[in-house]
Amino acid sequence: HKKEGFFPSSLDVSTISDYLSFLQTHPKLAQRMANAAAKTASKYSWEYHTQLLEKIIKQYLTKVQVVTTSNAFVSTQATGGGDRFFIELAKRLPKTVSLTIVLPYVGLPHFQRAQIDKPNIRYILLSPNPFDQHEEALLIFLAYLVRAFQTVYLLSRLSPFSILHAATDLTPDTVPAFIYRSTHPKSVW
C-alpha cells in the first residue's frame, strides 16, 4: 500500500476520488508507484510461470507418461488462465515426455491455433455434450459436470501413466484427478 498502488480495506467512490486526486497532485510519486508495480507484475508473467514449471518438470522427468485433464474450456473462442498457461507449457514440452491431453472438442481449436503438433503429444477428445458452447453459468457448470464424469470413466481405461496433471483447479479437471488419485494411491497428481 502506497508503494505499488493503493489497496484500501473498503472501496467506494469517495476513496477512489481521494486516491486519484492524490496521484494527480503527486506525479513523481505516482510514477515511482507505477514503476514498482510494473516490476512486481513482471515476475508473474506467463513466460515466468511457464519457465518455472518447465524447469521443475525437466528436473523430474526423463521418459515419462503424463496425462493432463484440460476440460475447462467454455468455447472455441475464449480461454481461461489455467488452460492458457497449460498451452504455453505444452509448446515447451521436452521430447522425453509423452503427453496425453484429455479435453472437450471446444478446447482443441485453442491448441491448433497455438500450433501444438508434436509427435509426443496426443489428444483425446471427450464426446460433445448438450451444454457445451454456452456461456450461462448453470450451463457451464453442467458442461463441466458431464466432462468430469466422462474423464473419470476415460482415465480408468487408459494405459498406465506416470503423472496426472490437472490444467486448472476447476471441477472438470480436479474432480477426475481426485477420484483417479483416490483409486490409484501410488500415482502422482
Model pLDDT for residues 150-189, shown as the tens digit of each residue:
999 999 999 888 899 999 999 999 999 999 999 988 889 9
SS3 at position 167: coil
Residue identified by cell 516490476 is 39
Judged against a pLDDT cut of 60, whether residue 26 lies above it is answered with yes
User: What secondary structure letter does DSSP report for 188?
Assistant: B
SS3 at position 100: strand
Residue identified by cell 514498482 is 36
Least Cα distance to 69 among 132, 157, 138, 163 occurs for 163
Low-confidence winner among 45-54, 93-102, 132-141 (lowest mean pLDDT) = 45-54
Convert 131-170 to b/e letters by CB count within 10 Å (16 or more is b).
Answer: bbbeeeeeebebbbebbbebbbebbeeeeebbbbbbbbeb
- pLDDT at residue number 91: 87
Q: Choose between 40 and 57: higher pLDDT.
A: 40
User: What secondary structure letter does DSSP report for 140?
Assistant: H
Low-confidence winner among 28-32, 50-54, 55-59, 62-66 (lowest mean pLDDT) = 55-59
Express as a percent the part of the chain with pLDDT over 90. 41
Q: What is the pTM of this model?
A: 0.65
- pLDDT at residue number 59: 60
User: What secondary structure letter does DSSP report for 128?
Assistant: P
> pLDDT-based confidence at 10, cuts 50/70/90?
confident
